[in-house]
Each structure stands twice: as C-alpha cells, then as structure tokens.
Amino acid sequence: MKKINLFILSSALIIAPLTSCKTDDNKGKETHFPVKDFELIGFDSNKPYTVGEIIDFTKMSLLITRNDESTETIKAFSNDVTIKGASTEAPGSFTFEITFENKTNNYRYSVIQNYVTLDFNGGTFEDKKEIKLPLYNNQVDLSKYSPELTSDDEKSYKFSGWYYDKENTKRATYLIDKNFISYKNATLYAGYDLDYSDEFIYSINEREGTCELISPNFDNPFNLVSTDTLYIPKTIEGYKVTSIADDFLAKKTIDETTGDVSFSDYAWLANYRKIVFPSDSHVETIGARCFKGVVTLESIELPNSLLTIGKEAFSETKLNGTLTLPSSLRKIGESAFSYGTGNLLKVEFNKNSSIKVIGEYAFQNNLSLHEVQLPEGLEEIREGAFSNCRDIINLNLPSSLSIIGVNAFKLMEGLKNINVNKDNPFFTSLDGDLFDKNITKLIKYCYGENEKEYTLPNSTLYIDDSAFNVFDSFISLQKLNLNEGLIYIGSDAFNGCTFEFTIPSSLRNFAINAFNGYKGTSYKVDAKNKYYSCVDGLLCSKSGRTLYSVPGNYDARFFILNKNVETIGEYAFF
C-alpha cells in the first residue's frame, strides 16, 4: 500500500529517544531552579488519532514552571525534550511519556481505525458486491479496485471511477495516484458508463473532469464504413465530452525515431449521413476540419452547449435543408460550412443567440442557400463569409453589427435587398444597397431588382472591393453613373460586369486590380480628370504612358499598342 506522509518529519524521527542536555542557549546562566511541572500545549487528549496518523509534536510546546514559580515556553520537539511511546500503528488507548530535565509526565491518547466502504453499485469485484478497506494515515490506495457491471441490455459497460453518491453526480477526488483521503469513515460508490473504447480514441482530463474525442478507433474500420449515424456520447468513463479534436477523421502517426507527426485523412472512407448529439450534450467545441470532406453528410443536430465551430469543420459536406445553430454558439470559424455540395437552403439561429463572429468564408460557395437569418448580437461578418451564395435574396443586418470584412457578400448577385437596422451606428441601407453610415462608401450593390441604370449618391467617396462583382455577366444593369466626388475604386469592383460607365474627373486612385475582369467594350474618362485618360477605349494614365486596363470585350483584332505607352499595368489584360 502506498503511504503519503502529511508532515515533513517522519514518525520515527518524532518518537526517537532524545537525551536531556543543556542547550547552547543555557550557557552563561548562573543558576537553574529545578522544574516543578510542565504543561503540554497544543495536545488535545479528547481528540483521537487514526491508525498511521503522525502525532505532530512540531506543533506543540511545553509551558514550564520552575520551583521559583518562573515560567518559560519551549518547543516540544527540541533537543532538551525526550518523547517515548508515541505510536499510532494500531487502534486502542495508549500513553506517551515526555521528559524535560528532572520531570516526566505521561499523556493518554487514543487511536481509532477508520474505513472506506467500496459499494460496487450493482457491479462486482472478485465476486463481492462491496468491500471494506482500512484507512492508514487517513488514506487508502484505490488503484487496484475496478469492478465490473453486467447488464441485461447486452451493452458493454466500463468502470468510470468512484463517487460520493450512489447516483454518480459527485466524483471522488484523490491526493495523487488514486490515493483517497478521508478523516472519517466513508462510503464510495462505483460508477459505470457505456464502453466507447471500440468506437473512439479519446483523452481524459481528470483535473477538469472532461473528455475530448480525438478520432474514431481506426482499428475498427467498421465504425467508418458501415455507420451512417455518428452518435456523439454525453460522457465517456463518467467524464463530460466537451470537445471534438481538430482533424477528427485523420489518423495520427508518430515516427518513433524523429517524433514527427503525420496525418492520414480518412474522411473519404466515412459513410456518415447524420451526426447526432444528445439533448443534454456538454460539447462546447467542434475542432478544425473535424468532418471536412465527408461527402455523405446530410444532417447535423448541433448541441445547445456548443460555443465554437472550428475552421473548415463541415466544409465540403452535403448538408441539406435547414441548418439550425444553437443559441449558445459564439463563433463560426473560417470556412466552417464552405463549399457545400448538398441542398442547404436555410441557415437560422435559435432565439437569444450568443453569436458574435461569422468567420472568413464561413458559408462561401453554398450555391443553393437562399435564406440566412442574422440575429441581434452579431458583431462581425468577416472576409468572404457569404461569397458566391448566389441564391440569397434578402439580408437583414442587425444593429449590433460593427465589422463587415472585405468581399463578405462577393458574387451574391441574387440579392435584391440588404436591410440594415436603423439603430446600427456603422452601416445603413439606401434603396436596398449597403453603405457605411455616412453614405460615403458603397459596400454592396444589389442586382436583384433588375434595374437597367444606377446612379451613385452624390456623397459617395469610395466603391468598396467587389461592390459590383458578378459571376454571371448576363445581368440587367446596362449603365452605371459614377458621381463627381468619387475618389477611389476598390479591388475587383467591376469584375464580370458589362455595363458602361464614365470615370469622373474627381477620381484620384484605384486598386491595382480594380478593373480586373471588367467585360465592357471600352472605357470612358472625363476629360477633366487630372490622373487618368482614355486612349482608343483603353484606360491609361493622363500622359498615356501607362496602360492600366484593356476591357474584356475590347475588339482585339484591331489592337495596336499606342506608341506612347512605356509601362503596362500588372492587371492590364485580365
């Protein structure tokens, strides 16, 4: 049995006979009156000790009275004091003896034996239903006691540890290595849980009382190939399952020589059609790339405990119908649901949603998605979050939204209307188009109304990245009127567009790829512009020495590079 002493000094040291002698502190004293009596301070004769418990004399002292009635106090555990007979190796009533100089006193004390009863709670250990273990020094080693439970339901159960209650709601705590401590008689109850060792590889954090699913048990490939519903357990070995690790469907291999870790992706082998969590699940985190590439996955029932969905967690899956996100969810990671191959129609958030962040490219390229309900409390929609979701018709942005990343709504050419809550201090909607609050920056133009001509508000200073970007060039807009006062055009602003426009005299600058992918037949520039010009339908610098852009539908049969051109821009022919 492993013993752990609770005090620095061992019992052998404490009870060793010590000779009575005068200390160095006594040198120089002229006289010594004999000891009349002394009292042991800090000792309680009414308090019993337990078997193996150390009688800690380091916390006691002697109050000494000499014949001249003078008093002094010294430590009981010192070179001037001899202690005999202080042992707690067996239960009973005993006496120990303390001698100081010419005086010896005896003290009565008692030792009791406490026990821990292990109730196997329906199981057995060595054909016993319970066992009584003696405590030594208030502790007992429980490491070798693992009862087994046999059930009539043909399910396999595994011993999950010891609990203070029969219902297994409060797990017993240990000092170290399964050494249980109790200062009185106690009863512990065995706990059992379904045995998931054939299904999952998992990691238990005893201190936190949690479990993380690392991967399926790849030694049993039946779990991947023949299981169409993946059930995420509430607990494993009695510990709450709180997370699913990154790369859940990747087998990790560690090189014994170098220690390098390699991954083998098994997502292609998985046949999951549905992922189910119990209604009282504890899962808070679904890690990065957990189910990426599971092309059979059609449905997930996310738990109400979920806080975070990791990067690419459900990317390239076949989700269908409505995706319901729990009210507990705070963050959707980068590309979490991107490149869906199914028929995902709607994304909705439960009432009282806690969502704060929709990550970069979170829903990118879900071509069937036509409705997204964005709740109050949402603060960030990051770069490309809904890019190329072409079937979404309406978006309602909450008052809490403060950040919209670049290209968040790129290629959403089905949009008819973006409505912004009037109380939003950062953004506004004008005729269904998205602007900053002061209407100085156009963030997203909505094509869905099928208008043939659009005029920018006079207050517009900037056109944001991809503001007019489309995938399908067969749109109704034929003419864009850029206002005088406009000073900047962002990246890919007109990519895929065919409508005509005239660059106003006020424009001072544009992104290097602002006109990348523009499919018009020619450019027009106001003659008063000090920075740019149009030469034979091409966009050039004012001097004509730099060629910035050749429109995509320019008739190249008659193209002759102007002799004044000295520099060709990086995206001139894109």
Q: Residue with structure tokens 């065919």?
A: 498
Q: What is the CA radius of gyration of the chain?
A: 40
564 vs 377, which has greater pLDDT? Answer: 377
- Which has the minimum average pLDDT: 11-20, 347-356, 371-380? 11-20
| Residue 474 binned pLDDT confidence (cut-offs 50, 70, 90) | low
pLDDT at 20: 36
Tokens representing 26 are 């006594």
How far, in Å, CA of 390 to CA of 371, rounded? 11
CB 120 within 8 A of CB 160: no
Closest CA to 163 of 186, 185, 184: 186
pLDDT at 299: 95
Could you tell me the pTM of the whole model? 0.82
pLDDT at 263: 67
Residue 314 has pLDDT above 70, yes or no: yes
DSSP state of 463: E
Average pLDDT over residues 419-442: 97
Looking at the DSSP bridge assignments, the partners of residue 262 are: 253
| Residue 21 binned pLDDT confidence (cut-offs 50, 70, 90) | very low
302 vs 251, which has greater pLDDT? Answer: 302
Residue 150 has pLDDT above 90, yes or no: no
Tokens representing 58 are 């380091």
Tokens representing 187 are 């009863």
- pLDDT digits 0-9 by tens, 107-132: 999 999 999 999 999 999 999 999 99
Residue 3 has pLDDT above 60, yes or no: no
| Residue 460 binned pLDDT confidence (cut-offs 50, 70, 90) | very high
Looking at the DSSP bridge assignments, the partners of residue 35 are: 66
- Which has the minimum average pLDDT: 141-145, 361-365, 457-461, 487-491? 141-145
Average pLDDT over residues 292-312: 96
- Which has the minimum average pLDDT: 49-58, 122-131, 137-146, 443-452? 443-452
The rounded percent of the chain whose pLDDT value lies above 90 is 79
Residue 5 has pLDDT above 70, yes or no: no
SS3 category, 190? strand
SS3 category, 15? helix
Concatenating the DSSP letter of every residue in 305-372 gives T--EE-TTTTTT----EEEEEPTT--EE-TTTT-S--S-EEEEEE-TT----EE-TTTTTT-TT--EE
Looking at the DSSP bridge assignments, the partners of residue 346 are: 322, 371
The H or E element that residue 502 is part of is: strand 502-503
CB 107 within 8 A of CB 43: yes
Q: Which sign does the torsion angle of CA 517, 518, 523, 524 carry?
A: negative
Average pLDDT over residues 64-82: 94
What's at 562, amino acid-wise?
N
206 vs 489, which has greater pLDDT? Answer: 489
- pLDDT digits 0-9 by tens, 494-553: 999 999 999 999 999 999 999 999 999 999 999 999 999 999 999 999 999 999 999 998
pLDDT at 28: 46
pLDDT at 23: 41
How far CA 230 is from CA of 211, 287, 299, 434, 523, in Å, comes to 17, 16, 11, 42, 57
pLDDT at 560: 78
Residue 275 has pLDDT above 50, yes or no: yes
Count the neighbouring beta carbons within 10 Å of the beta carbon of residue 426: 15
Q: Mean of the per-residue pLDDT values for the chain?
A: 90
Residue 29 has pLDDT above 50, yes or no: no
| Residue 220 binned pLDDT confidence (cut-offs 50, 70, 90) | confident
| Residue 9 binned pLDDT confidence (cut-offs 50, 70, 90) | very low
Looking at the DSSP bridge assignments, the partners of residue 75 are: 61
Q: How far is CA 338 from the centre of its chain?
A: 20
Closest CA to 272 of 296, 301, 245: 296
